[in-house]
Amino acid sequence: MHSMSRRTLMMATAAAVAIFAHSGAYAQDKIRIASVDGLSGVTSSLGQDVSRGLHLAVEQINAAGGIKSLGGAQIEFVEYDTQSKVDVAQSQAEKAIAEGAIAIIGNSASAASLATTTVAERAQIPIMVSGGSADQITQRGYKYTFKINPTIALSYANTKAYLENFFSGDVKLKRLVHVHEDGAFGQSVNNNSYAALAKDLGFELVAVPFKTGSADMSGLISQLRRESGEALVFTGYVPDAITFVNAARQARVSFPFFDAGISINDKNFKAAVPVELRDGLVGYQYFNAAVKVPGNEDGPAKFDKAFRERWGDEPGFISANAWTSMMVMAKALEAAGSTDSGKLRDALAAVEFGPADGHIMANPMVKFDATGQNMYMNLLTVQQQGDKLEVVWPAEYATSKLRISAQ
């Protein structure tokens, strides 16, 4: 038998290394994780929220020694801007995978999430959605999609409970006007939440769709001035909410309950809408630094401090969601001990991220069901009361009662 030549041996060794590296069994220095999100365009406020949360998480993970089960491998975080466009989201997801990303995190807008998750499923690459809320994202039988945000359906019980609570006094809910963007997000909220709520709670629902990115809402405002009801609810993105709230307030559109449908603590919203026009508005938060998480009571405040020190600003609407997403991904990588997409996917399906892991949200933990949907995520309902933002629901986290008055 002839002995193997030096050149042949070197080629065989290189081939073996490549095989092991692809399978995730070979030790590596860096693990590339991509964010595909809207860093510019109409949803850029949300995209920037996600970006900052992810950057902070990566810095903390790497500073703590990286992924120890992979020899301390550091996370290499790369961002791809969708420009808030669905077609660009698809092509950027494809580019991220082609350039070596073993997982994708981000997707703050529902329409873009539907596109990027399809790309990831086709490539069998795990993808975690930090912001998109549309029910369809986790209802297509995909195996590689995981979503931190609650679906509209999962939020239903919470919304039903607070509407029953808020309108249990002198003001009864008989008619609700729902102004919503006409994309996947707004349609899902209207059809899967408020239409069902109207039936269950016995109020009349008036749905008023609009095209996202509308610079002039004068026609919409004129229509609302002819409407009546106890509740006005807006569903859309921050730039739309700014235009809508300013126009509605200046036109003196008046409802006892005015839900702006966004984080009314968003820095862009606060900069563009004067505090006197924000007074009485209801909105949402996923994260609040004052919340005491059982088992990690100081965690939310510590995250808030770290975020402010890193970025010179308070966490955005979904910054904590994004931070949590990366932390969950890191725990799954530790459990998998591999960057193999199938093994990482299985680890994500089994992961439980709770207070002992640093969980900072107002719910027990992150754990995904068979569809990839986080089973425990919920929303805090807040209201602007003078110059303060108060938590008004759920009751166990409330810092004040909702202010609602008859017209």
Residue 16: per-residue pLDDT: 41
Structural domain harbouring 279: 153-285+380-397
Whether 16 maps to a domain, the answer reads: no
What's the rounded Cα separation, in Å, for the pair 97 and 107?
A: 15
Are the C-beta atoms of residues 88 and 107 closer than 8 Å to each other?
Answer: no
Sequence letter at residue 71: G
pLDDT at 34 over 90: yes
What's residue 21's pLDDT?
Answer: 42
Answer whether residue 12 is part of any domain. no
| 149 contact partners, CB below 8 Å, separation of at least 6 | 129, 130, 131, 132, 133, 286, 318, 321, 374, 377
Residue 407 lies in a domain: no
Asked if the model's pLDDT at residue 6 lies above 60, the reply is no
Backbone angles phi, psi at 279, to 5 degrees: -55, 130
The sign of the torsion formed by the CA atoms of 315, 388, 221, 186 equals: positive
**231-245, 262-276, 344-358: the lowest-pLDDT one:** 262-276
Domain-embedded: residue 350: yes
**Count of domains forming the chain:** 2
Tens of pLDDT, residue by residue over 223-250, are 999 999 999 999 998 899 999 999 999 9
Which of left, alpha, beta for 106 (phi over 0: left; psi -120 to 50: alpha)? left
Q: pLDDT for 330-344, tens place per residue? A: 999 999 999 999 999
Task: Identify the pLDDT of residue 226.
Answer: 92
Contact 88, 82 (CB under 8 A): yes
As a whole-number percent, the residues of the chain with pLDDT over 90 amount to 69
Q: Is it the case that residue 4 has pLDDT exceeding 50?
A: no
Asked whether residue 406 is domain-assigned, the answer is no
Residue 36 has pLDDT above 90, yes or no: yes
Residues 136 and 257 in one domain: no
- Stretch 251-273: mean pLDDT, rounded? 90
More confident residue, 143 or 1: 143
| pLDDT over 90 at 43, yes or no | no
Domain at 169, CATH number: 3.40.50.2300
334 contact partners, CB below 8 Å, separation of at least 6 = 67, 68, 69
Would you say residue 241 lies in a domain? yes
Regarding whether 174 and 70 lie in a shared domain, the answer is: no
HSE-CB at 78 with a 13 A cutoff on CA atoms is 19
Contacts of 29 (CB under 8 A, 6+ apart): 73, 74
Indicate whether 17 pLDDT > 80: no
Is there a cis peptide before residue 394, judged by omega within 30 degrees of 0? yes
Does residue 257 sit within a domain? Answer: yes
Q: Could you report the per-residue pLDDT of 79-129, keeping only the tens digit for each?
A: 999 999 999 999 999 999 999 999 999 778 888 999 999 999 999 999 999
Residue 23 predicted with pLDDT over 50? no
Q: Which two tokens stand for residue 274?
A: 């004067």
DSSP label at residue 329: H
Q: Are residues 56 and 131 both part of a single domain?
A: yes
The rounded distance, in Å, linking the Cα atoms of 51 and 37 is: 8
Would the pLDDT of 356 be above 50? Answer: yes
Band (185; pLDDT cuts 50, 70, 90): confident
Question: Is residue 8 situated within a structural domain?
Answer: no
Inform me whether the pLDDT recorded for 1 exceeds 50: no
CA distance 384 to 406: 18
Statement: the pTM of the whole predicted model exceeds 0.85: no
Structure tokens that stand for 70 in this block: 């992979």
Looking at the fold, whether 59 and 169 belong to one and the same domain comes out as: no
Q: pLDDT-derived band of residue 152, with 50, 70 and 90 as boundaries?
A: low
| pLDDT for 184 | 83
